[in-house]
Copies of this chain bind each other. A is one copy, B any other.
Amino acid sequence: MEQDQLVVGRRAQGVREGIVDVDVHPTPRSVDEIKERLEMPWRDRYQGERRAFYNNPVHGSRLDSVPPGGGPKGSDPAFARQQLIDEYGVAYAILISRTFCNIHPDPDYAAAVASAFNRWLVEEWLEGSNEDGAFKGSITIAQQDPALAVEEIERWAGHPQIVQVTMDSGARMPFGQRYYYPIYEACERHGLPISIHPGTEGMGINHQPTPGYPTRYIDWHCSMSLAFQAHLVSILTEGVFERFPGLRLVMVEGGVAWLVPLLWRLDSYWKALRSDTPWVRRPPSEYVSDHVRLGTQPLERPDHDEHLRQLLEMMDAERVLMFSSDYPHWDFDSPARAFPRLRDDLRKAIFSGNARALYGLG
């Protein structure tokens, strides 16, 4: 693939060329877009689930992502196309709705909200003005009832623009545990990766994955990558990829550099403590290489680019990383500016090849 094809998205024989952005957030134009897709009694109860604290002290989304015609930031597919797809030559944007459904104690309500968001995503973003298929969608599931989550996966898995299942890293239980296995079985059966996204840690019914509650947005947000690490340790030590050899996991918005020290630590513990987890047959890092991919945002940028390049080398970034921008959120990583200079093959793998292979995008 030539460099100019990498940076200019275009349509060719059904396969679009250009970069792939694996973390883009569509937003409803109003609460009503979700309410009208909810049955009663949930329709009357829904007011838009939001967190009451740990809000960004300035603004949670780019100020310039307000659509020209008005409405919430990131709520107009046409404007998102202009600002992301066209601006940066994005061939495919993997859409992940932010529903906050998993903070609610009621499993039926949570499942209804997830389902309404999925219907909205399909109708407003994946069909309609998406003839070129640049927008690909994620099935949101509520974790409160894995059986209902599986029903939701069955409902949408066959849609041609659906490429994965997504759930929040805010949770009551680490993701390696058996509670989640029906979800993983359904993902594996449909060939859909499961993506994990942060943002509901310590909210509602979710455990706070630090030693007690952080005080403010900065420490809460900084600690999101700790939840990712804990979930990954759990998934690897429970042998999830031995039970579900076709399962693939995507972790977005937790940064990437932590992967290196975590796997050093975990591999050495695995060697010393194999009697604790005999079902883990290979060094945990090998499962990561085969089954796990990380979205790059928010990419760590140390003072010395060389330090980041060394970390990327250590984590086998050429295989494991996929570019993500987090459009339209405040800490958006620009495809043009977020990375230091990379080797051409590494850049292509991160910005296009790895995501195309994972999601079957040609």
Contact = CB atoms under 8 A, between A and B. Distances in A.
A13 interface: no
Contact of A226 (B217, B229, B276): B229
Nearest to A172: B212
Given A260-B257, A261-B260, A216 B269 contact: no
Given A269-B218, A301-B268, A171 B229 contact: no
SS class of chain A's interface: helix, strand, loop or mixed? Answer: loop
A233 interface: yes
Interface string A149-177: 00000000000000000000111111111
A227 to B, nearest CB: 5
Interface in A258-311: 258, 260-262, 264-266, 268-270, 272-273, 275-277, 298, 300-302, 307, 310-311
Contacts of A212: 171-174, 177, 207
A102 to B, nearest CB: 11
Contact of A222 (B171, B206, B233): B233
B207 A219 contact: no
**Copies held by the complex:** 2
Contacts of A330: 272
Interface size class, chain A = 35 or more
A209 interface: yes
A61 interface: no
Given A301-B264, A311-B261, A227 B215 contact: no
Interface string A42-74: 000000000000001110000000000000000
B211 A169 contact: yes
Given A171-B212, A215-B238, A219-B234, A265 B255 contact: yes
Nearest to A201: B211
Contact of A215 (B234, B260, B273, B314): B234
Nearest to A57: B276
Contacts of A260: 257, 261, 302, 307, 311
Given A211-B174, A258-B261, A216 B233 contact: no
A223 interface: yes
A223 B173 CA distance: 14
Contact of A216 (B171, B213, B237): B237
A146 to B, nearest CB: 15
Interface in A225-245: 225-227, 229-231, 233-234, 237-238
Contact of A277 (B169, B216, B331): B216
A221 interface: yes
Given A174-B212, A225-B265, A226-B230, 4 more contacts: A174-B211, A177-B215, A223-B229, A225-B261
Ranked 9 nearest A-B pairs via Cβ = A257-B261, A210-B230, A173-B212, A264-B300, A171-B211, A209-B211, A219-B237, A218-B276, A258-B261
29 contacts: A57-B273, A169-B211, A171-B211, A174-B211, A174-B215, A174-B219, A201-B211, A207-B208, A209-B209, A209-B226, A210-B227, A210-B230, A210-B234, A211-B227, A214-B230, A216-B237, A218-B237, A219-B233, A222-B265, A223-B230, A225-B261, A255-B265, A257-B261, A258-B262, A264-B300, A264-B302, A302-B314, A307-B310, A310-B310
